[in-house]
Amino acid sequence: MPIFSYLAIPRSGAKESLCAELSALEYCRVIPAENHEVVVLVTEAPDETSEEALQGKLKKLQGLQSLSLAFGYDEKLGRK
């Protein structure tokens, strides 16, 4: 159950379309900022295979300028 959160920066003027694209993806939850061109993305893939597939889809999004990791959790990494 890998869980990650990111700050997603949309391309200029593409915040709404990016939110729509992200919301359409499986395992993604979107929290758009009210007053900045910034979107918080939280992902919750059920396993590593799904996580890799999701990563591939995120890289192809048209409205996405950059994605910065803010938090990462994996059962394996969570236990030292």
Partner 1 sequence: MKLDRRRFILSAAAGSAVATAGALFPGISFADWPKITGNSGVVSWQKAPCRFCGTGCGVLVGVVEGRAVAVKGDPNCSVNKGLCCMKGYHSVQALYGADRLTKAKIRKNGEMVEVPIAEALDLVAAKLKETRDKHGKNSVAIYGSGQWTIPDGYVASKLFKGCLGTNNVEANARLCMSSAVTGFMTTFGIDEPMGCYEDIDNANVFITWGNNMAEMHPVLFSRMLANRKRRTNVKIIDFATRTTRTSAAADKSILFKPQTDLAVANAICHEIIANDWVNWNFVGEHVSFHKGKTNIGYGTEDNFAFTDQDEAIGFEDYKKFLADYSPEKVEKISGVSAKDIKYMAALYGDPALKVTSFWCMGMNQHTRGTWINNLVYNIHLLVGKISTPGNSPFSLTGQPSACGTVREVGTLTHALPHGTVTDEHDRKMAAEIWGVPVENIDPKPTYHTVEMFRALDRGEIKFMWIQVTNPMVTLPNLKRYRNGAKKEGHFLVVSDVYPTPTTDVADVILPAAMWIEKEGLYGNSERRTQHFGQIVNPPGEAMSDTWQIIEVARRLGFEKQFPWSPENYIEKIWEEYRRFHAGPKHEMASYQVLSERSGVQWPFVNGKETRWRFNPKYDPACTNGKAFDFYGKKDNRAWIWARPYEPAAESPDSDYPFWLNTGRVIEHWHTGTMTRRIPVLHNAMPSSYVELNPEDAADLGVVNGEKVKIISRRGEVTIPAQINGRGVPPRGMVFVPFFDESYLINEVTLDAFCPISKQPDYKKCAVRLEKA
Residues of this chain that interact with partner 1 (CB under 8 A) are 1, 3-7, 29, 31-36, 38, 40-42, 44, 68-74, 77-80
Q: Are 24 and 62 in contact (CB under 8 A)?
A: no
| Cβ nearer to partner 1, comparing 17 with 27 | 27
| Cβ nearer to partner 1, comparing 60 with 79 | 79
Beta strands in 1-80 (DSSP E): 3-10, 28-32, 39-44, 64-73
Give the dihedral sign, CA 75/21/41/70: positive
Q: How far is the CB of 56 from partner 1 (least distance, A)?
A: 20
Q: How far is the CB of 37 from partner 1 (least distance, A)?
A: 9
